[in-house]
Structure 1
């Protein structure tokens, strides 16, 4: 069906109305309209779309245009989030919190999923082919076709398979979208469809009557956040918030929708060759674009081996295997039942265990050892005033990483991994899609008029000059200003010289005050230049830590010799004393004072006020740095 034949209605439909409900964990609502985070509530609307075969009413579509789209060179790529079986847009909320600051974002709840209505009951409307056509029509409706806007697809679980089919030229397409796909991020991907034997077993499972299937689900969900269904996705030792979210998503997954999507993803086999269903090795191998594959070391739904297999497909084309590869079959993000063919070492004995007596299921074990690689680096600094190019078809590169424990299939929304994931994805977009997707570059571009015009000076004047003590080591500051009446070296020495004995200036440019005014009063000045708007590099952090270590050792001797106030500290400033200053201080007190990264961020925010570190990409980078990652591997 050509694009102009796709009937789209409710073009100006009002945003979904959601009731704000506050409830205790014991009485928590599972209604997706009620539990939606504010970001999704504010930027969602209900739409109806018609494809070549079906009309789907009541679809929730999240769309947020980049807040500074009119001030930045156009067009930035459209970032499209694709959920999988049992999933929803809400699972992407932590990632969208970061990505909406980088570019325009789109996410769709598939029919009957999340906040979308379940009004189309035909099983054929939920086949992989039908859902991919629906996604294609919706994406094309939001893509800026006049500006030839490119698209980056970001999938989770089965959503990765949808992304492959949207990006691959080996499938039939109904619009021009395939010509504008610039890259694919695949989070917990599956490398291909179930085997012929697995398909036969799954079909037996799906023939179970609906009422019995619901009883099965009820048994599997016994214990709520501590149920077998929750442990299967986030692990028995996950934190309480991860378990709460997984329990929420499990309860939001509608049985009729799950059964139809699960059936629709199964191929038919003709002479041992899979037809239809989820895309396999030929589709993956044919992708000619940047691809980022991200897995979790403890993922029991799509184990890390799936990432390794896809890497081989992309690296060498279609890879020959000895025998038929064992895929994970039906891959889900919040399953009504356990569809895993691999034994779980700590799985609770329950009706969710499909035993040999049930369907003569073939149990096979798999190794889920995490891969190690080289860690991501901060996007390179782009000279202010230059505009990075946006290529219609960026050069093919394949990058893969396995996040270490506790990363599971729920790493997209588990608090311990979500910020790490956001940092990794943001880096990939800036480095391999376009430098314009670097938030650091965007902020530099938007502030090109200079730092010390009247507007910024007025803003600077409103910022508190010096923070409360931080971990007994630091005070954060805004830069001093020679011509200021209060925050100038001569006044600063009188007010703070008894406790601030060293100042580390991390601003990039020459200071707008004379450091000699500090030095004469015994406050030592140290320059450690870094670029604004961009998180400090690992090298810069290591250098800062070494500098402060040295200063603290020197201060001990000076304090004894000069009989200092016992509360002496090191002052640190950039321009306003929030983002770069906070980043360096957080790194130091994590590595030298034993703070967790979250506690360090909160400690800085409390001492500095005004929210502390404000840039989301700085926070993402901090979580990546202290995530335990050994590094990231790059292929091709």
Structure 2
């Protein structure tokens, strides 16, 4: 590449060098506004908040109310609100996979802190980014969404520096704070301590004295190599899969240097006159917590020492505590069915102050600092968090219990129960890649996750749920049986658009690559497949499968539609879905 100075008018030599280095990286495609996951984009809004320290005019807030909040018990309070807090240089998008898993069980809230993700970098005053300033902002946002009149509690789920913010929010020793009274539990992913920050403190203080353009120069060099750059390897490891590396590189590109510097400065422990007056949570802060705490780290974390998990657990006074039996609503040891005499699911207890328990674990290699979005670790992490919430916070956060409770007459969970029952559960093989299935039902005796694993676990190794609503079954039943679950929401009655088609094809490509590796490692037989379902497994399911057959398997639109209909009698029923396929792959384009 030939670089002429005229390309960078009125720039210093160092700034020109920075621009030259970064010009070789096509980072524009990683703009946070362009890469926002659909779940987050559809449930986000931009809001303004004023605290005692600053006004933050444009903060992105993700909030998705539980789909069945109005139909679940509200006494003595609604199901807790789950609050996700990202770390230094992070964003709400890093929680996308966890949000996909946890929005079906509770209302969820997450915030792009100022200058992060798609939140505006305003204000720019350094004191607005101290740890306590961010804690106060988070408290404002949480109170704006928590159903305070109904006494709704919250569970804080933080990552990296976000765990420190969560610990401060939950600590009763923080002066003039009220939110801690409503915090029912805390999940800390890659948690940090004041001690770990002290290790980095000397380096950070020196780095923070460097002008932004020099800091940018270092970051540009750190990203050289793209997916194989030191910046990516540091967070997810050299042996991470390509998708995890791509996500980490994207998050790195989206992190803004001036914001990083301000937040890092604001998190430093006080050290001399003029330094940060407020620091991050210390071991003393963690020791002040009196609630259920789940600590999870990665054995290969190179950013935060995995030993911090043990230090925090020790400070909290970790001890083995058996789960509270009332959490699951079982009060009679002779009857643990969870149903009352009328067959209605019992209502688990929802204590205002769940008893303290400290659970800790470290995911094995190659789990690193990006374990919350790394492809191999996300399903494990989501399952561990779900188990912790339902066992130690309240059994009402169990998706299985919610589905049983809601299914009072057997009809709530499907549009037409009799029609659903008359649909074949699983199609024949389609294109050597797929099986079309109808949605599973947790309460069905023949097509629930447990039975599905027994009947089809040897053939269907992954399930893609393309229904728009939350599933009416607990996906963990599939995961525990070795079938991986993927949520890809689409709207009913509407043919998927171009972006959804591209994303579906990309998802299937990734699953197929992963299946080939699993097949060798686990010695599968031939004929393994990907299951796809919407509600009944005809229109949207057939449409997306047909698109894949055309774009990846060499079918024509007509052949793909016929192949689907042969394996799934009646095929794609809606004519406008079939028409859209023919138009899409006809080669004819309209001109504006």
Whether these two folds match at TM > 0.5 is yes
- What secondary structure, in the 3-state scheme, does the structure 2 residue paired with 1:29 have? helix
RMSD value, Cα: 4.1
- Corresponding position of 1:603: 530
- Corresponding position of 2:55: 55
After superposition, give the CA deviation of every residue in 1:303-341 in whole Å (9 maximum; x if it has no partner): 221101111111169xxxxxxxxxxxxxxxxxxxxxxxx
- Corresponding position of 1:325: none
Alignment of 1:44 onto 2:47: no
Change beyond 3 A, Cα 1:602–1:300: farther
Change beyond 3 A, Cα 1:189–1:140: same
Q: What CA distance in whole angstroms lies between the structure 2 residues aligned with 1:477 and 1:140?
A: 42
Contact 1:586 1:601 in 2 (8 A): no
Q: What CA distance in whole angstroms lies between the structure 2 residues aligned with 1:127 and 1:269?
A: 14
Q: What CA distance in whole angstroms lies between the structure 1 residues aligned with 2:54 and 2:477?
A: 55
Matches within 5 A, 1:284-363: 284-315=286-317
Of 258, 261, 264, which residue of structure 2 is paired with 1:259? 261
- Corresponding position of 1:31: 31
Contact 1:463 1:478 in 2 (8 A): yes
Change beyond 3 A, Cα 1:225–1:582: closer
Gaps of 5+ in 1: 1-24, 318-378, 480-505, 510-528, 549-575, 613-636
Of 228, 237, 240, which residue of structure 2 is paired with 1:238? 240
Alignment of 1:422 onto 2:425: no
Matches within 5 A, 1:211-226: 211-226=213-228
- What secondary structure, in the 3-state scheme, does the structure 1 residue paired with 2:530 have? helix
Q: Which has the higher helix share?
A: 2
Change beyond 3 A, Cα 1:387–1:596: farther
- What secondary structure, in the 3-state scheme, does the structure 2 residue paired with 1:139 have? helix
Of 141, 147, 160, which residue of structure 2 is paired with 1:144? 147
Change beyond 3 A, Cα 1:237–1:592: closer
- Corresponding position of 2:15: none
> 1:578 Cα shift?
11
Contact 1:586 1:600 in 2 (8 A): no
Contact 1:193 1:279 in 2 (8 A): no
- Corresponding position of 1:248: 250
Change beyond 3 A, Cα 1:268–1:586: closer
> 1:275 Cα shift?
6.8
Contact 2:131 2:267 in 1 (8 A): yes
Change beyond 3 A, Cα 1:585–1:392: closer
Change beyond 3 A, Cα 1:218–1:469: closer
> 1:268 Cα shift?
1.2
Contact 1:290 1:397 in 2 (8 A): yes
- Corresponding position of 2:281: 279
After superposition, give the CA deviation of every residue in 1:195-219 in whole Å (9 maximum; x if it has no partner): 7675344212210111211111111
Change beyond 3 A, Cα 1:298–1:453: closer
Between 1 and 2, higher relative CO (CA 8 Å, sep ≥ 6) is seen in 1
Gaps of 5+ in 2: 1-24, 320-327, 329-335, 459-471, 485-514, 542-592
Contact 1:79 1:154 in 2 (8 A): yes
Of 205, 208, 228, which residue of structure 1 is paired with 2:207? 205
After superposition, give the CA deviation of every residue in 1:533-589 in whole Å (9 maximum; x if it has no partner): 6x659xx98xx69x99xxxxxxxxxxxxxxxxxxxxxxxxxxx99979967985699
After superposition, give the CA deviation of every residue in 1:126-183 in whole Å (9 maximum; x if it has no partner): 1101111111111111111110100000000000000000000111244x21110000
> 1:467 Cα shift?
3.4
- What secondary structure, in the 3-state scheme, does the structure 2 residue paired with 1:421 have? helix
- Corresponding position of 1:154: 157
Alignment of 1:135 onto 2:91: no
Q: What CA distance in whole angstroms lies between the structure 2 residues aligned with 1:453 and 1:290?
A: 32
Max Rg structure: 1
Contact 2:88 2:264 in 1 (8 A): yes
Q: What CA distance in whole angstroms lies between the structure 1 residues aligned with 2:414 and 2:251?
A: 49
Contact 1:64 1:100 in 2 (8 A): yes
Contact 2:403 2:473 in 1 (8 A): no
Q: What CA distance in whole angstroms lies between the structure 2 residues aligned with 1:36 and 1:257?
A: 20
- Corresponding position of 1:167: 170
Contact 1:220 1:227 in 2 (8 A): yes
Alignment of 1:382 onto 2:303: no
Alignment of 1:70 onto 2:26: no
Matches within 5 A, 1:519-558: 536=450
Contact 2:80 2:107 in 1 (8 A): yes
Change beyond 3 A, Cα 1:135–1:583: closer
Contact 1:394 1:433 in 2 (8 A): yes
Of 100, 106, 113, which residue of structure 2 is paired with 1:110? 113
- What secondary structure, in the 3-state scheme, does the structure 1 residue paired with 2:149 have? coil
> 1:30 Cα shift?
1.9
Q: What CA distance in whole angstroms lies between the structure 2 residues aligned with 1:28 and 1:412?
A: 24
Q: What CA distance in whole angstroms lies between the structure 1 residues aligned with 2:166 and 2:528?
A: 36
Change beyond 3 A, Cα 1:146–1:228: same
- Corresponding position of 2:102: 99
Q: What CA distance in whole angstroms lies between the structure 2 residues aligned with 1:238 and 1:477?
A: 32
Change beyond 3 A, Cα 1:460–1:166: same
> How many residues were matched structurally?
445
Change beyond 3 A, Cα 1:458–1:29: same
Comparing 257-266 with 199-208, which one deviates more in the overlay?
199-208
After superposition, give the CA deviation of every residue in 1:339-396 in whole Å (9 maximum; x if it has no partner): xxxxxxxxxxxxxxxxxxxxxxxxxxxxxxxxxxxxxxxx886324311111111111
> 1:454 Cα shift?
11
Contact 1:381 1:441 in 2 (8 A): no
- What secondary structure, in the 3-state scheme, does the structure 1 residue paired with 2:120 have? coil
> 1:417 Cα shift?
1.0
Change beyond 3 A, Cα 1:285–1:68: same
Q: What CA distance in whole angstroms lies between the structure 1 residues aligned with 2:99 and 2:254?
A: 20
TM-score, length of structure 1 as denominator length: 0.62
> 1:87 Cα shift?
0.3
- What secondary structure, in the 3-state scheme, does the structure 1 residue paired with 2:338 have? coil
